[in-house]
Amino acid sequence: MNIVQKYGGSSVESIEKMQNVANRIIRKKEEGYDVVVVVSAMGKTTNQLIEMAKKITINPSQRDLDMLMSTGEQVSISLLSMVINARGYESISLTGFQAGIKTEGIHTKNKISDIEIDRVKKHLSNGKIVVIAGFQGMNEDGDITTLGRGGSDTTAVAVAAKLECVCEIYTDVDGIYSVDPRIYPNAKKIESISYEEMMEMSSLGAKIMETRSVEIGYRYKVPIYVASSLVDVKGSLIKEYDELMENKSITGLTISENVLMITVINVPYSPENISAVFSKLASKDVNIDMISQTSPNNSLVNLSFTTSKDEEYTVMEVMTQLKNQFAHIEIQKDIAVTKVSVVGMGMKNQSGIAAQVFKLFADNQIHFKLVTTSEISISYTINSADKQKAVSILAEAFNL
Ligand code: ADP
Ligand code: ASP
Ligand code: MG
C-alpha cells in the first residue's frame, strides 16, 4: 500500500529534526507501506532566499526567482535522503522535475497540470523510499517553476491523488484548530473537517494548509491527515462532509494580515471606468479579494479593494497608469488592516450570523471597513490594532 507523507520547513529545519522525521518514515516502511516523502525547504530558507533577491531589486525576474527558490527544497531532499540511507534504508531523492511534476501558468504561481508518476512508481516497486522536493515542477518550456508559498502541501496531495492513497501532512502544530493557536491559544482542535470548510479557511488565511492542495484533495477525494511531526497525538482529518461532523454554525475563524487595501477616490462614474480599473489589475494577474464602491456623488465614486501585500509593487504600477488616465483621482494605500473571517458549513442553512457579528463588533467598538460573504463564510476587514480583541470576542461568542 502506498502512503504520502509531507514534512514542512520547521520539521526539517536541522539534521537533528531530519533524524526525527526519518524515524517516522522508517516506522511506516516497517509497517509495510511504500513510502513517498515530500519535503519543504529547511526552516525559513525560502524567506531568506527571497530576502537575498530583494537586496538586488524589488522586482526580480520571476523566472530567476523560481530558479532561486527551488534550491531550498533541493537541499532538504538530498540531506533527508542521506539520513535515511545512513540508517540502512534505501532511499532516493527526486526534484519536482525528476518526479514528473508538470506545471503551467505564470512563474512563482504555477499550477500542477499533470504528474508523470512512472518513475516514482518504479522506485517504490524496487523497495525505495522516494523523497520528492515539494513546491516545484517544470513547465512546458523546460523551466523550473514554483507553486506559490506553502506549495509543498500541493505537491504532496497531488502525488497522493495520482497514487490514489492517503496524504499525511506533518507540521509544527498537532492538528487543525478552530483558530490559529498562535493567535488564540484557547482554540479547540477539530477532529474532522470538510474539504469545503478547509478550502475556505485556507483561502481566507489559515496557513496550516495551502488552498490549492485542499482543492486537489477535494477533487480527487484524497483523505488528508494533519498532525505534528514532533509529538504522537491524534491529528485532524480533512474529508468529505458528513452529518456526523460537529454541528456548529461556525467551524473556524481565520485571520489574514497579508492584506493591502487600496481606495481610489473620485473616479468619474461610468461602468467602463470601473471596469478599466479591474481589467488592468486582472491583466497583471492581481487577485482581488474584496471590493466596494460608494454611490455616485457629482458623478464621482470611490472604489476600495483588497489584495495581498505581495502584490503591492504591481498594484502601485497599475495605480500610476490610472492616474495618467484620470488626472483627478487620488489613491490611498492602507496596510494596517486585518481580515477576520468566520467559516462554517452551518451557515448554508442558518441565517443571522452576519447580524450577530455586526452586533458583537458594534458592542465592542470594532469598526470594519469592508465585508464580503460566500455561502459558507463572512469576512470583515478591521484595523490591525483591533485584531486580538475581535478574535477573542468572536471565538468566545461562537465557542471556537
Ligand atoms: P509547515 O512549514 O509545516 O508547512 P506552516 O507554517 O505552513 O507549516 O503551517 C503551520 C502553521 O499554521 C502553524 O504553526 C499555525 O500557526 C498555523 N495555523 C494557521 N491557522 C491554523 C489553524 N486553524 N490550525 C492550526 N494551525 C494553524
Ligand atoms: N518552501 C516553500 C515555502 O516556504 C514551500 C513550502 O514550505 O510549502 O513557501
Ligand atoms: Mg505550510
User: Can you give the three-state secondary structure of the chain, one letter per residue?
Assistant: CEEEEEECHHHHCCHHHHHHHHHHHHHHHHCCCEEEEEECCCCCHHHHHHHHHHHHCCCCCHHHHHHHHHHHHHHHHHHHHHHHHHCCCCEEEECCCCCCEEEECCCCCCEEEEECCHHHHHHHHCCCEEEEECCEEECCCCCEEECCCCCHHHHHHHHHHHHCCCEEEEECCCCCECCCCCCCCCCCECCEEEHHHHHHHHHCCCCCCCHHHHHHHHHHCCCEEEEECCCCCCCEEEECCCCCCCCCCCCEEEEECCCEEEEEEEEECCHHHHHHHHHHHHHCCCCCCCEEECCCECCEEEEEEEECHHHHHHHHHHHHHHHHHCCCCEEEEECCEEEEEEECHHHHHCCCHHHHHHHHHHHCCCCEEEEEEECCEEEEEEEHHHHHHHHHHHHHHCCC
Angle between helices 62-86 and 15-30 (to 10 degrees): 60
Q: Which residue has the cell 495605480?
A: 319
Task: Tell me the CA–centroid distance for residue 152 and ligand 1, in Å.
Answer: 13
HSE-CB at 47 with a 13 A cutoff on CA atoms is 5
Which of 6, 40, 258 has most ligand 2 atoms within 8 Å of CB, for mutation?
40
How many angstroms separate the Cα of 57 from the Cα of each of 36, 50, 144? 37, 11, 21
Nearest CA residue ID for atom 9, ligand 1? 208
User: Which of 334, 364, 395 is where one domain is finished?
Assistant: 334
Report the pLDDT value the prediction gives residue 84, as an integer from 0 to 100: 98
Measured distance CA(111)–CA(105) in Å, rounded: 6
Measured distance CA(189)–CA(198) in Å, rounded: 13
* Residue 298 and residue 151 share a domain: no
Question: 186 CB contacts (<8 Å, ≥6 apart)?
Answer: 395
Measured distance CA(103)–CA(97) in Å, rounded: 9
Strands 167-171 and 91-94, bridge-based pairing: unpaired
Report the pLDDT value the prediction gives residue 333, as an integer from 0 to 100: 96
* Residue 239 and residue 272 share a domain: no
User: Which of 295, 319, 334 is where one domain is finished?
Assistant: 334
* Residue 317 and residue 192 share a domain: no
Instruction: Kindly state whether residue 357 falls inside one of the protein's structural domains.
Output: no
User: Which of 213, 248, 283 is where one domain is finished?
Assistant: 248
206 lines ligand 1 (CB under 6 A): yes
Q: Residues with Cβ within 6 A of ligand 2?
A: 8-9, 40-41, 46, 72, 134-135, 149-153
How distant is the alpha carbon of residue 148 from its chain centre?
Answer: 8
Measured distance CA(188)–CA(175) in Å, rounded: 10
Q: Please give the chain's pLDDT, 400 residues, in tens.
A: 999 999 999 999 999 999 999 999 999 999 999 999 999 999 999 999 999 999 999 889 999 999 999 999 999 999 999 999 999 999 999 999 999 999 999 999 999 999 999 999 999 999 999 999 999 999 999 999 999 999 999 999 999 999 999 999 999 999 999 999 999 999 999 999 999 999 999 999 999 999 999 999 999 999 999 999 999 999 999 999 987 776 788 999 999 999 999 999 999 999 999 998 999 999 988 989 999 999 999 999 999 999 999 899 999 999 999 999 998 999 999 999 999 999 999 898 888 898 999 999 999 999 999 999 999 999 999 999 999 999 999 999 999 9
* Residue 243 and residue 265 share a domain: no
Report the pLDDT value the prediction gives residue 243, as an integer from 0 to 100: 79
Amino acid symbol at 296: P
CB atoms within 10 A of CB 15: 12
Nearest CA residue ID for atom 12, ligand 1? 208
Task: Tell me the CA–centroid distance for residue 134 and ligand 2, in Å.
Answer: 8
* Residue 238 and residue 148 share a domain: yes
Report the pLDDT value the prediction gives residue 136, as an integer from 0 to 100: 98
Domain containing residue 193: CATH number: 3.40.1160.10
* Residue 278 and residue 200 share a domain: no
* Residue 296 and residue 199 share a domain: no
Q: Which residue has the cell 479547540?
A: 188
234 lines ligand 1 (CB under 6 A): no
Report the pLDDT value the prediction gives residue 348, as an integer from 0 to 100: 87
Domain containing residue 282: CATH number: 3.30.70.260
* Residue 327 and residue 228 share a domain: no
Ligand nearest to the CA of 9: 1
Measured distance CA(201)–CA(178) in Å, rounded: 10
What is the tally of structural domains in the chain? 2
Instruction: Kindly state whether residue 343 falls inside one of the protein's structural domains.
Output: no
Report the pLDDT value the prediction gives residue 188, as an integer from 0 to 100: 97
Ligand nearest to the CA of 202: 1
* Residue 150 and residue 13 share a domain: yes
Nearest CA residue ID for atom 11, ligand 1? 208
Enclosing domain of residue 154: 2-248
176 lines ligand 1 (CB under 6 A): yes
Which among 351, 371, 363 has a CA at the least distance from the CA of 390?
363
Minimum-distance ligand 1 atom for the alpha carbon of 190: 24
Task: Tell me the CA–centroid distance for residue 390 and ligand 3, in Å.
Answer: 25
Sheet harboring 337-343: ordered strands across? 252-256, 337-343, 377-383, 368-374
Task: Tell me the CA–centroid distance for residue 158 and ligand 3, in Å.
Answer: 15
Report the pLDDT value the prediction gives residue 310, as an integer from 0 to 100: 87
HSE-CB at 332 with a 13 A cutoff on CA atoms is 13
Residues near ion ligand 3 (Cβ under 5 Å): 8, 150
